[in-house]
Structure 1
Amino acid sequence: MAEGAGAFGGAGGARTPRTVAVERLGPGDHACLPFDRSEGRWALRAAFAAAGLARGERVLLFPGAGTDVSRTLERLDAHGVPALQAAADGRLDIVRTTPGCDPVRGFDPVARTDYWANAADDARTRGFTGLRAAGDMACVAEAGADAAALTSYELGLTPLLAKLGFTGLCEYDRHAFPPDVLDAVVGAHPLTVVPAPGTLHATRDGAVLRLAGDADLATRTAFELAVREPGLTAIDLTGLAFLDAHCARELVRLGAAASAFDAAAGSGGAGVALECTPAQARLLRLCGMRQPGHLVVRGEG
């Protein structure tokens, strides 16, 4: 599960959603994808589905009532997901209905929430390790949901998904919702996902730098510029889907330089703390990290 706490940000109260790579979403996560009808959304859907299939979860995709199922499976297959086989054996389902959304009866958040609870129970009963679902939320606009009802629904969904161990990704078309409504519903999610695969997303919150996406050959320059910004006390790496050895060594070099400066100045400074996953911590140690106190290891992977 993607999460943040301690020196890197509290867990309670209203806050700006944390951005993570879609591959980092795990059981209990509730994320939002605001999109602009680009092909990149299919790559994100494919990565989301592939991660669930690899975990042994049942995957439900709600691409919209007018979607052609065969075409959807073909598009997922083109991104490397064994969609045809997964659909044939019941691990993947392309759902064309829109639970809790009806142009005549309107938006029914209770019916929609009940649907998710029943689907999660059904997945467990059928022997899956869990459930994940991604869906186009245009149906709620078509059902006439107002901003207050939609925001309340999304806020209530977060603790439910955490309780069920259910991974949810809500897709909001920027062209289907007024900007103020979109801002409200995005803010009701604890997480957003990086909008394009293979990119790096860097945000700074005071002295804390949060990274999401990929830190690799294609994004090295942006990565190096971000981590070298002055005044940082912490760098959160847990939103990254991939951290290559070059970028890991850059962090090691920065840590060694900071420690040498502190020693020369006699300041005893704490340097820059790195919040990372266990796999990232192992890579950093293999690349020569010698300041274990600088690593704050959280989560999975």
Structure 2
Amino acid sequence: MAGGTCGAPTPRTVAVERLTSGDHACLDFVSHRDRWALRAAFTTAGLARGERVMLFTDPATRSGEALTRLADFGVPTERAAADGRLEVLNSSPGYDPVHGFDAAARTGYWASVTDDALAHGFTGLRVAGDMVWACEPGVSGDALTSYESGLGGLFEKFPFLAMCEYDRRSFSPQLLERVLAVHPLSVLPQPGELRAERAGDALRLVGDADLATRTRFELSVREPGLARIDLTGLAFIDAYCVRTLLRLPGGPALECTRAQYRLLRLCGAPEAERTEVPVGWTERGSGADTGRVVLRVR
């Protein structure tokens, strides 16, 4: 959902599986198949955490077609749709061709449907929405970016998660840049990918560290001068990659989630130097693995 100014911070890249309640993320994509794979992972995670999942497609995609596409990736769509855990719509809350875009109405809609999800016993609401409606008449780039950047209070107040989907072929590069800048998070556009982000003596890994990405993983973690490696952006890491980390010379500090720490310990890692547990909806609601653990390889 967009907006941005020169000098705005770069969004933090995350794997879709690492999204949790309170996150506001942007997915800018080209491949529709990859997008459906990400939607499926997004939906599966929400169902597993007891959240209601709402998927807003483009106007041409009907509910039945969307459910079939999700089912192709293993989502139990028939049961989830029947009992209200999953809802697919092709509407655009807050926008219609006659009256244009009403940012307040759209924001109010999210608050209302989150309240409804909580009233029905769900731990929260997660929404994925195709933003193609924002290309229509009556929606200016300034209005869109202002709306997107003004959603922070909603995410702080409610157990609400949103992934905004922007097709790179539908939006200008200039508007996409503004859109990305106002989202705190950017979703890795390809499932199963590994991204390595180096900043000074720190390395952050995002995505999957497994057989398919092993070469890139080893090249990245063996770069000279690394003092800290952040693993918290990984959706998956296999035992081989863990043992590679534990054999690194120089003793870099490893920042990891609590689940990753348990795997590291099973593979022979030392005890942690400290544990940091952020407080927020993620701690109270979905039970996601939100704590951070720091240990040093010896």
What TM-score bracket applies, with the shorter chain setting the length?
0.7 to 0.9
Counterpart selection for 1:277 from 238, 254, 257: 257
Cα offset, 1:110, TM superposition = 0.7
Give the aligned partner of residue 188 of structure 2: 194
Q: Is the 8 A contact 1:136 1:170 kept in 2?
A: yes
The Cα offsets for residues 45-76 of structure 1, whole Å up to 9 and x where unpaired, read as 00000000011110000011221211111110
Aligned residues: 274
What residue identity is the alignment partner of 1:81? V
Q: Are residues 1:170 and 2:170 paired?
A: no
CA deviations on 1:125-165 (whole Å, 9 max, x unpaired) are: 11111100000001112144222221121111133123211
User: Which has a greater percent of helix?
Assistant: 1
Q: Is the 8 A contact 1:49 1:59 kept in 2?
A: yes
Q: Verify the 8 A CA contact 2:100 2:137 in the aligned structure 1.
A: yes
- With normalisation by structure 1, the TM-score equals 0.87
Contact 1:77/1:83 (<8 A) preserved = yes
- Check the 8 A contact 1:105/1:143 in 2, yes or no: no
Question: Unaligned regions of 5+ residues in structure 2, if any?
Answer: 1-6, 279-287, 290-298
- Equivalent residue for 2:120? 126
User: Partners in 2 of 1:241 and 1:206 — Cα distance?
Assistant: 24
Percent of matched pairs sharing the same residue: 59
Matches within 5 A, 1:178-257: 178-254=172-248, 257=249
CA shift in 2, pair 1:144/1:275, >3 Å = farther
User: How many angstroms apart in 2 are the aligned matches of 1:134 and 1:289?
Assistant: 38
CA contact (8 A) 2:129 2:165 kept: yes
C-alpha offsets along residues 246-286 of structure 1, whole Å, 9 cap, x if unaligned? 111111111xx21xxxxxxxxxxxx4222210001111111
Does the CA contact (< 8 Å) of 1:277 and 1:297 recur in 2?
no
Q: Which residue of 2 aligns with 1:292?
A: 272
Contact 2:129 2:163 in 1 (8 A): yes
Q: Structure 1: how far apart are the matches of 2:275 and 2:197? A: 19
Give me the whole-angstrom Cα distance separating, in 2, the residues matched to 1:165 and 1:272. Answer: 35
Q: Does 1:154 align with 2:148?
A: yes
Rounded Cα–Cα distance in structure 1 between residues aligned with 2:124 and 2:269? 36
Partners of 1:111 and 1:37 in 2: CA distance: 31
Q: What stretches of structure 1 of length at least 5 have no aligned partner?
A: 1-12, 259-270
TM-score under structure 2 normalisation?
Answer: 0.88
Q: Structure 1 residues 92, 139: closer, same or farther in 2, change over 3 A?
A: same
1:6 alignment partner in structure 2: none
3-state SS of 1:33 partner: strand
